[in-house]
Amino acid sequence: MRRTGWYLGVLAVLVAFLLPATACAQSGELEIFSWWAGDEGPALEALIEHYESLYPNVRVINATVTGGAGVNAKAVLKTRMLGGDPPDTFQVHAGQELIGTWVLADRMEDLTFLYEEEGWYDVLPEDLIKLLSTDEGIWSVAVNIHRSNVMYYIPENLEKWGVSVPTTWDEFFEIAPKLQAQGVVPLSVGENWSVIHLWESVALSVLGPDKWEALWTGELAWTSPEVVATWELLDRIMEYTNPDFASLTWQQATDMVVDGEAAFNIMGDWASGYMSTTLGLKPGVDFGWAPSPGTEGIFMMLADSFGLPKGAPNREATIAWLRTVGSREGQDIFNPLKGSISARLDSDLSRYDAYGQSVARDWQTNRIVGSLQHGVVANERFMNDFATTVMEMFLTTRDPVITSNAAHAVALQAGIGL
């Protein structure tokens, strides 16, 4: 009898301890680490507002580290993770940038349970889930989708110059001299990383989606003739670009098209957000777009995503955040403001502008592949060496074979396709 009383006492104490823990499951603080400030800040703030209306007991800490397209934020994140002080969740490019760094290091939790509970397998494209997963699980929730292989132009200008939008690079080479004769730069390019961005569109047109994927699984060698051909083609294209490209930001390269100095520019669809929001142009009327030459029917995607780091201080609130991020409502709040589209196939297209609707339609029907420059298909070591070494070798020597050999060596060192 006395024993039972003692057990009851212990039980009471335990319950007393556990009760607040379950009741406050979605409370406390949630630290969201990202590099979204400036133009992209309002989108994140709107999403956080939506989250706070769903979980009013959680206080969200919006930790941003700006600058360098995320370079600085990633450096801060790495020192924090190494120091054993992970944020509850952090922004990371979906795919190998997350997998090669954080999943490989066993710092992330598998999110398969969340995908099953929320039914995301049914509303997300299979190609996307493949890019977010390894054999061991799914590692992040994509909050947005951007397209990398888009070519922009001003329809009115093209009419004036008497050219039409090229659908292949051969067509581009036909019209390029005509443009140059009128004092127009056929294709505007920006600093180093936009050349990599251009290369991935060019390579996709030469290789096609299957071989592009084979490049990242190691089935297609970097020294194979097809890959050398991508550099040969890029070398030819660079003849028709602005010589001061290395001094320009991507916005300035876009400005060249808008100002009528250049005919085309290949950039991700944040350029559309820049033109419609910052410059006030009307999509479809004042500026036009098409898949970059030779990539019709292929959607080269990149995505920002959030994951669940092991040891997140407030795991429950983080899971709630991931549910919000992946929800139809959450995605349709965030993406129209960010200038991207929802990863879900069931999003409410009426909330997007003409450009977003066109991209969303392609997202539902096109073949999906991942971008190199924006972290989907290769790990960070490869990306870094590709920028510092391979692209630099190409720009210095303009030799396709030397460049391919360097890329091959970098891929071996970085363990691509192993």
* Of 247, 297, 329, 348, the one binding another protein by CB under 8 A: 247
Least distance to another protein from the beta carbon of 2, Å? 47
Closest to another protein by CB, 109 vs 332, is 109
Minimum distance from residue 151 beta carbon to another protein (Å): 23
Whichever of 200 and 380 has its CB closer to another protein, that residue is: 380
User: Within 139-178, which residues bind another protein (CB under 8 A)?
Assistant: none
Question: Should residue 223 be labelled a site residue for another protein when binding is judged by CB under 8 A?
Answer: no
- According to CB under 8 A, which one of 52, 127, 171, 191 is a site residue for another protein? 191
Q: How many residues bind another protein (CB under 8 A)?
A: 40
- Measure CA 373 to chain center: 9
151 bridge partner residues: 266, 290
CA pair distance 306, 360, nearest whole angstrom:
21
Choices 47-55, 66-74, 232-240, 272-280 (CB under 8 A): range interacting with another protein: 66-74
Q: Is 380 in the site for another protein (CB under 8 A)?
A: yes
Least CB distance from residue 383 to another protein, whole Å?
A: 8
> What is d(CA 99, CA 106) in angstroms, rounded to the nearest whole number?
9
For 12, list phi and psi in degrees, rounded to 5. -60, -45
Closest CA to 91 of 143, 165, 139, 134: 143
Q: What share of the chain is helix, strand, coil (3-state, %, to 5)?
A: 55, 15, 30
Cβ proximity to another protein: between 10 and 279 the closer is 279
Torsion on CA atoms 185, 397, 227, 142, rounded to nearest 10: -70
213 touches another protein (CB under 8 A): no
Tell me the window of 104-112, 132-140, 215-223, 289-297 that interacts with another protein (CB under 8 A): 104-112
> How many other C-beta atoms lie within 10 A of the C-beta of residue 203?
23
By C-alpha distance, which of 313, 185, 331, 310 is closest to 244?
185
Q: Which of 30, 58, 60, 81 binds another protein (CB under 8 A)?
A: 81
Does 104 contact another protein by CB under 8 A?
A: yes
**Structure-token match 């009760």, residue found:** 19
* Tokens found for residue 212: 């592009």
Q: Does 78 contact another protein by CB under 8 A?
A: yes
How many Å apart are CA 246 and CA 6, to the nearest integer? Answer: 76
Whole-number Å distance between alpha carbons of 43 and 321: 15
Contact set with another protein (CB under 8 A): 68, 71, 74-75, 78, 81-82, 84, 101-102, 104-107, 191-193, 243-244, 246-247, 252, 380-381, 383-385, 387-389, 391-393, 395-396, 406, 409-410, 413, 415
